[in-house]
Amino acid sequence: MPNDLSTSVRKVEKALKAHGLECQVLNMKETTRSAQDAANSLGCRVEQIVKSLVFMTKKTKKPILVIASGANRVNIKKIRNLLSEPIKMADPDFVRAKTGFAIGGVPPLGHSNPLETFIDEDLLKHTEIWAAAGTSNTMFKLSPDDLQKITEGQVISVT
């Protein structure tokens, strides 16, 4: 694994340990860049994949993290209404600047800056879920309760 990738993974592992979690990071042979790719690689359902999507508020340029089930599309209007401000999908440079990670490997924790976070209520239906661990081919397993603990996110319907 190249140094920059292992640095990202180490950052995630350190953040997990800081929250008292001992999650094993798996280095997959295939890409886990998309939710479907991740589900295929892990042999789980796409609904169990955690998508960490970064949005940006249009007026204040604030980063917003939406943690969605891999099977769901985020309804931007719902998020906008919660924030009382229009949002848009963040570009790759903004995502890296605000999280410290590249798109396709953004984990739900360990970010460079704090992000207001919303969690898809559909993720709570599963006993185990899988999240990116800092790169486009690393994943870790956790419970929905642990996801809520490490992100302190607000659980909402994102669809």
CATH code at position 53: 3.90.960.10
Which DSSP category does 104 fall into? T
User: SS3 for 7?
Assistant: helix
Interacting residues of 101 by C-beta distance below 8 A, sequence separation 6+: 8, 95, 107, 110, 111, 132, 134
User: What is the tally of structural domains in the chain?
Assistant: 1
Q: What is the pLDDT of residue 6?
A: 82
Which DSSP category does 55 fall into? E
Q: How far apart are CA 138 and CA 5, in angstroms?
A: 9
Which neighbouring-strand residues pair with 56? 63, 88
Full domain range(s) for residue 67: 3-156
Kindly give the confidence (pLDDT) of every residue in the chain, 159 residues in length, as a single tens digit, with 9 standing for 90 and above.
444 558 999 999 999 999 999 899 999 998 898 999 999 999 999 999 999 999 999 999 999 999 999 999 999 999 999 999 999 999 999 999 999 999 999 999 999 988 999 999 999 999 999 999 999 999 999 999 999 999 999 999 999
